[in-house]
Amino acid sequence: MSRYNARTVEPKWQQAWEAAESFAARHDPTRPKYYVLEMFPYPSGRIHMGHVRNYTMGDVVARTKRAQGFNVLHPMGWDAFGMPAENAAMERGAHPGDWTYQNIADMREQMKPLGFSLDWTREFATCDPDYYGQQQALFIDMMEAGLITRKSAMVNWDPVDMTVLANEQVIDGKGWRSGAVVERRELTQWFFKISDMADELLGALDGLKDWPEKVRLMQANWIGKSRGLQFSFDLTAPAHGMDKVEVYTTRPDTLMGASFVGISPDHPLAKALEAENADLKAFNDECRKTGTSEEALEKAEKRGFDTGLKARHPLNPDWELPVWVANFILMDYGTGAIFACPAHDQRDLDFARKYDLPVIDTFIAAENGAPVTDEAFVPPKSEAVKWIDHFAGLDVATGDEAIDRTIDFAEKAGWGEGVTKFRLRDWGLSRQRYWGAPIPMVHCDDCGLVPEKKENLPVELPRDVDFSTPGNPLDRHPTWRDTPCPSCGKPAKRETDTMDTFVDSSWYFARFTSPRADTPTDLDEASYWMNVDQYIGGVEHAILHLLYSRFFARAMVKTGHLPASASEPFNALFTQGMVTHETYETRNDAGRPVYHTPDEVVRDGDAVRLADGTPVTVGPIIKMSKSKKNVVDPMDIIDQYGADTARWFVMSDSPPERDVEWTAAGAEAAWKHLQRVWRLVAEGDHSAEGVAPEGSEEALTLTKLTHRTIRDVSDGIAQFQFNKSVAKLYELTNAIAKSKGTGAAEKSARHFALTTMAQLMQPMTPHLAEEMWAALGGSGLVIDAPWPVADYSYLVENTVTLPIQVNGKRRGEVTVAADASKEEIETLALADGAVQRFLDGKQPRKVIVVPGRIVNVVV
RNA sequence: GCCCGGGUGGCGGAAUUGGUAGACGCAGCGGAUUCAAAAUCCGCCGAUCUAACGAUCGUGGGGGUUCGAGUCCCCCCCCGGGCACCA
């Protein structure tokens, strides 16, 4: 029996492609280009199944487009800055740079054997000074274009380690290393003014026809455009020079139900009052112990503090409302102050009940409306309700109408203004960390903040840094900060904040079009290659990465680094599901979770334990991530079965947009199938080809199926339904195996089916496909053969079998000519034995005939 | 808490988008081949009842629209992703 040996075959073809420079992308204006990009990986050091799945999908698209005649750009790089490198430095003493470049080398070694059609000549890492230097140039240009600002923002502060923590590093409100209770602290930070583009980023979503609807929805909700009323409550007595509280509300129609005025613990008034009120100070400090994440704030128990101040209702000066500080009011949204209407907001109602504040109904259900008791009455804004004493004279009206009328009323009366606001905040890019791109700014005592001169870029990270104590090593470096002022030349200090790693990944797709240019992009190259025609990556990036990239593309158009046509950089987006796996955890002495990798765990029936016998708790099935250690190493599969098996396996079964739980079973099956395909080639009789199939029923049937398979596999790939393409290839394989005819027509039909299979399998299992192609006598490389096109004359059938239903249940079937009339079908269906039995001599009440689909007889 | 997805045999999933539920694969069972095993080949394979023909039930749960619902509408449950310093 002929065996296919991936170990020798795969490197052979990889060398052939490399020798031919098959995948090097060359600018050629005479050919249509196609840019395929998968989200580049963080170099953790090991590839995982998620990578294999992601990059195989992109490779299938790239190889198919290449066969279809496109000039394909399919590059690869590394998202190389970020916290794990610093953590490794702290834990193991490795330098973040050494650690990162070693990981890149390791991962490249693991990726190369997979045979991806990548243009490795364009590879770069975001931590290359060449890359981040261009990023610094971009930053300076964006600064000049007015896209950057500086203002204060909240950070998670670890008071023991004296350092800023990422949200991920705050566990149950405590610092992950120190265990100290984390507090919110204000820091002056650098920001991209993305909120200036909020409306445009929202509006342009409509044009992204080839993006998943869910991603556009998530982005629209994130941007969060709202129309509301902004106005002030006058305080009955000024406090600390403040005589009013400005609020923003999207439900001004509920103003007559106002119960109290609420301000954020970080509101200027709350902070001013702290000075003389120790209890309030204690309350606010307690609130600040919730981290900065919206999730933590929203989940925290709702608590409040009565300031004792009173505010006048704008419509009735005699109506005084108490002013409360409440922990659920975000300083970042609106004005950091609200009025609460407990009758029509569940959170306000819970708060009012807790602190015994009034609940005043503003409107009731149009029919049988009862006053609010335990549950707030919050109907959709489009539903008509009955208004109680509405100042603008409404009786029965929808919320939407009432909001419009109220804003109108307030504007005419002059005490309020209709305002459109966005939930989207400016993008804080400052990080108080070492392993990121330095912000190329200099602090000069005389000149203030001055950008570094472009000829001095890159501002390189110093190599000699010390991670033995927490905090930003750049701050502590003895000399790195010292630099002459780019403007006046006097001694000055560098900015020590580095950039958020989202900045690095917001323009790498543009850099790939001219990765060695000495400007951020080469406009000529960018104009040819942009946009990315197909972008592929995880849904977990649906909001932030994609929104930031859309902002950056616009910023790069503004600063002349991209053509105007590239302001939406990704024509089509596909979000693949995640590769998930169970998590395994034990607890350390401090009771904190410690995670374990699947290969450390022994599963023996229900019992789960470590190799040393320690019992393990099985946690939820979640996306594979380094921090939870629930990762599986694909190298084991590649070593055992070869790259094609791994590639085939991740393309089969699970639809690509869906999460897939990794299980070891199935890789074996993929391998068996590829062996079977190879045997059909190696043991087949290829003495006939080009013989017309029409003389043989068997040959004709197989040829028809081959053409249907061309159509179905091509459609499956075009629609990102690779699992269906795989299923169709299984069917064709089964049919070839069943065909045993020894005539020239049958042999020829099998030869045609197998050469076609080699071409159709090429995007998924390229090495096997080359081997098949060569054995079948194909000329040149199969990757250079044009994509097969189905002959439609083989796709039409002249009879069709329709199911017959009686009362909606299938009772039989009828085979008719494809062009049979409704009447003919009905006559034939009614003559069917099963139908006669159910009719029992009676006339049918109704007969529904859907040609080509179904017949339904209603008795 | 808020926003967005998902839930179909023992398992991964398919279903022409309102028209035969379970394609294809895995696992399992039976058979052929073999001294034997592996590999390979052939057949069966949602549940219940039935000797069989067939019948009834069945797409997370409950209700509805329709000649016809996995697919559309309403309510609920469970799982996952995101929540602005994980990438």
Could you read off the pLDDT of A539-552 as tens digits, one per residue?
A: 889 999 999 999 99
For residue A607, pLDDT over 70 is answered with no
Q: Is the CB of A225 under 7 A from strand B?
A: no
| Per-residue confidence band for A382, with pLDDT thresholds at 50, 70 and 90 | confident
Nucleotide lying nearest to A729, CA to C1' measure: B24
Distance between CA atoms of residues A577 and A537, nearest Å: 9
Q: Is the CB of A738 under 7 A from strand B?
A: yes
Distance between CA atoms of residues A602 and A584, nearest Å: 11
This prediction's pTM: 0.93
CATH 3.90.740.10 domain range(s) in chain A: 225-422
Query: Nearest-5° angle of CA A22, CA A25, CA A31?
Result: 100
Average pLDDT over residues A795-820: 85
Give the pLDDT of residue A38.
97
Q: Please name which of A637, A537, A535, A628 lies closest in space to residue A578, comparing C-alpha atoms.
A: A537
Q: Is the CB of A226 under 7 A from strand B?
A: no
Give the pLDDT of residue A586.
76
Query: Token pair 């590649």 is at which residue?
Result: A638
Give the pLDDT of residue A92.
87
A476 close to A455: Cβ distance less than 8 angstroms: no
Q: Is the CB of A578 under 7 A from strand B?
A: yes
| Per-residue confidence band for A604, with pLDDT thresholds at 50, 70 and 90 | low
Q: How far is the CA of A405 from the C1' of B33 (A)?
A: 86
Average pLDDT over residues A567-578: 92
> Which chain B nucleotides are covered by protein, judged by CB under 7 A?
1-6, 11-16, 19-21, 23-27, 39-42, 55-56, 67-69, 79-87
Measure Cα distances from A575 to A244, A253, A578 in Å.
48, 40, 9
Measure Cα distances from A442 to A198, A380, A451, A458, A625 in Å.
30, 53, 6, 14, 38
Give the pLDDT of residue A241.
87
| Per-residue confidence band for A592, with pLDDT thresholds at 50, 70 and 90 | low
Give the pLDDT of residue A97.
97
Q: How far is the CA of A537 from the C1' of B79 (A)?
A: 22
- Looking at every residue in chain A, the average pLDDT score rounds to 90
> What are the tens digits of pLDDT across the range A245-304?
999 999 999 999 999 999 999 999 999 999 889 999 999 999 998 888 888 888 888 899
For residue A606, pLDDT over 70 is answered with no
Nucleotide lying nearest to A730, CA to C1' measure: B24
DSSP state of A695: G
Nucleotide lying nearest to A543, CA to C1' measure: B82
Give the pLDDT of residue A591.
65
For residue A229, pLDDT over 80 is answered with yes
Topology at the third CATH level for domain A133-199+427-501: Rossmann fold (3.40.50)
Give the pLDDT of residue A299.
86
Q: How far is the CA of A648 from the C1' of B11 (A)?
A: 19
ipTM of the complex: 0.94
Q: Please name which of A468, A466, A436, A430 lies closest in space to residue A449, comparing C-alpha atoms.
A: A430
What residue is closest to B54 (Cα–C1')? A811
A60 close to A764: Cβ distance less than 8 angstroms: yes
**Residue spans of alpha helices (H) in A607-689:** 635-641, 643-651, 667-682
DSSP state of A190: E
Give the pLDDT of residue A458.
96
Measure Cα distances from A395 to A371, A386, A387 in Å.
16, 6, 5
Q: How far is the CA of A539 from the C1' of B82 (A)?
A: 9
Token readout for A261 is 């005025």
Nucleotide lying nearest to A126, CA to C1' measure: B87
User: Which residues of A participate in the annotated binding site for ATP?
Assistant: 626
CATH 3.10.20.590 domain range(s) in chain A: 799-858
Lowest mean pLDDT among A25-29, A44-48, A364-368, A687-691: A364-368
Q: How far is the CA of A758 from the C1' of B40 (A)?
A: 23
Which CATH class name applies to A799-858?
A: alpha beta
Average pLDDT over residues A599-613: 65
Q: Is the CB of A79 under 7 A from strand B?
A: yes
Q: Is the CB of A36 under 7 A from strand B?
A: no
CATH 1.10.730.10 domain range(s) in chain A: 684-794
Give the pLDDT of residue A364.
84
**In percent, how much of chain A has pLDDT > 90?**
64
Q: How far is the CA of A225 from the C1' of B38 (A)?
A: 66
**In percent, how much of chain A has pLDDT > 70?**
95
Nucleotide lying nearest to A804, CA to C1' measure: B20
CATH hierarchy code of domain A684-794: 1.10.730.10
For residue A225, pLDDT over 70 is answered with yes
For residue A151, pLDDT over 90 is answered with yes
CATH 3.40.50.620 domain range(s) in chain A: 133-199+427-501
Topology at the third CATH level for domain A225-422: Isoleucyl-tRNA Synthetase; domain 2 (3.90.740)
Average pLDDT over residues A801-824: 85
> What are the tens digits of pLDDT across the range A127-145?
999 999 999 999 999 999 9
Q: Is the CB of A302 under 7 A from strand B?
A: no
